[in-house]
Chains A and B, each alone.
Chain A
C-alpha cells in the first residue's frame, strides 16, 4: 500500500456528504475538525452541528466506510466539543452549494445578536431581503423557515449558530 497523506484523506472526505444535504461535503460543512495520520493509522476528530443532531452517527459511519473503502483498516473517530461547530465553519464553497441546493446559506454568526438577521434572510432564488421569518424551527434542527414576498414562495435557511 502506498503512503497516504493528510491531503488524500481530505480529498476522500470531500465525497462524504451531509445525509440531509447531499450536495454538501462534511469537510465543507466544517464538522471534520482534525485529521491525524500515524503510519496507516487514521484518527479523525468530528463535532456535531447541533448537539442533538440525529445524523451524527450516520456521518461517523459514512466517514468510516469511506476510509475503509480506501484500504484503511486502523480508524478511530472521536466526537468532541473542543472546537465547537458554528455556522461560520461552513466553507465558501459549502455556502455556494447550499444556495444551489435552494437553501439560504447562514449569515455570519456574529450578526445573530440582531434579530433582523433572522427576520429578513436573503432569498436563495432572488437574493432579495423582502422576506419574513415564519419559524426559527424548521424540518431539521439546522434549518429555519422563511417566506419571500417577491417570489411568493417559502424557503429554508441554514440557521446561523
Chain B
C-alpha cells in the first residue's frame, strides 16, 4: 500500500471537514432561528471532531500532530474543495452548500466503511452514523423551504445555481485515483459523484427547485491541489490566531 495516495485522500477529507466546520461555527449566535443556530453549531462540533480523528490517523502514518496539521499550514497546503471555504453568505447559501456537501460526505463515508485500510473503515462506520443527522437536517429544510414561499424558492434557486459548479469541485480527482481503487482503499470520485447526483436529484425533485442539466455546468476545480479562492487564507489566519493565543485550547 502506498502511503502517498492514502495520505492525500485523508488530507482532503479532513480538510473539507475542518474548513466547513469552521464556516458552520460562524453561524453561532447569528442563525435566523435559535434552532438553526444550535444546529449549525452542533454540526460544526461534529465536523471539527471528525477532522481531528482523521488528522490523528495521519499522525499515526508519520505526519505531524493534529493541531499542528490543522493550524500551521498555509492555504496552498490545504486540500479542501473550494465549496467549503466560501463565505457563509445568506442562510439560503449556507443551507444549499450544507445539502450538497453532506449528501456527498455521507456517501463517501458509506463507501469508506469497506475500505481495505482498516483504521479508516472503522472510523467511517462511526462518522456515517453521525452524518445521518446532518443529511436529515439538510433534506428537511431544503424540502420545507423549497416548497414554501415564492421568495424562499427564488432565494434557494439562486443559491443552488451559484453553489452547484463549486459542489462539482468536491469530486475533483486526485493523481492517485487509480491506485486507491486498485488497492481497495476508496472506490473513487467518479463513483461517488454518480451516487451523489442521483441522491441530489431525488431530493430536489420533491421541491419546486430546478437542477440545470449536469452537462451544462463547469465544475470549479483547484482546491484539491491547493489552488484556492481568496477566501481561504483569511479563514486560516483567524483559526490559527486562536490557536497561537492558546495552543492548549480544546477543540
- A residues touching B (Cβ–Cβ < 8 Å)? 50-54, 57, 80-82, 84-86, 112, 115, 118, 134-139, 141, 159, 161
Contacts and interface: CB of A to CB of B under 8 A. Distances in A.
Contact of A50 (B38, B46, B136): B46
A136 B46 contact: no
Q: Which 6 A-B pairs have the closest CB atoms?
A: A52-B49, A137-B42, A84-B126, A81-B122, A137-B39, A51-B49
Interface stretch (B76-84, B127-135, B174-182): B127-135
Given A81-B125, A82-B122, A112-B132, A52 B45 contact: yes
Given A52-B47, A54-B45, A57-B250, A159 B133 contact: yes
Nearest to A113: B132
A115 B250 CA distance: 34
Interface of B: 35, 38-39, 41-43, 45-50, 52-53, 119, 122-123, 125-127, 129-130, 132-133, 136-137, 250
A141 B129 contact: no
B1 to A, nearest CB: 19
12 contacts: A51-B49, A51-B52, A81-B122, A82-B122, A112-B132, A115-B136, A135-B38, A137-B35, A138-B42, A139-B38, A141-B45, A161-B130
Given A84-B126, A137-B137, A51 B46 contact: yes
Contacts of A161: 129-130
Contacts of A52: 45-50, 52
A7 B128 CA distance: 34
Secondary structure type dominating chain A contacts: loop
Contact of B35 (A54, A134, A141): A134
B133 A81 contact: no
A54 B48 CA distance: 11
A40 to B, nearest CB: 29
B189 to A, nearest CB: 23
B53 A51 contact: yes
A135 B35 contact: yes
B35 A81 contact: no
B64 to A, nearest CB: 19
Contact of B137 (A86, A112, A136): A136
B28 to A, nearest CB: 12
Given A50-B46, A51-B50, A51-B52, 7 more contacts: A52-B49, A82-B122, A112-B132, A135-B35, A136-B39, A138-B42, A161-B129
B7 to A, nearest CB: 19
A139 B35 CA distance: 10
Contacts of A85: 126
Contact of A136 (B49, B119, B123, B136): B136
A52 B132 CA distance: 15
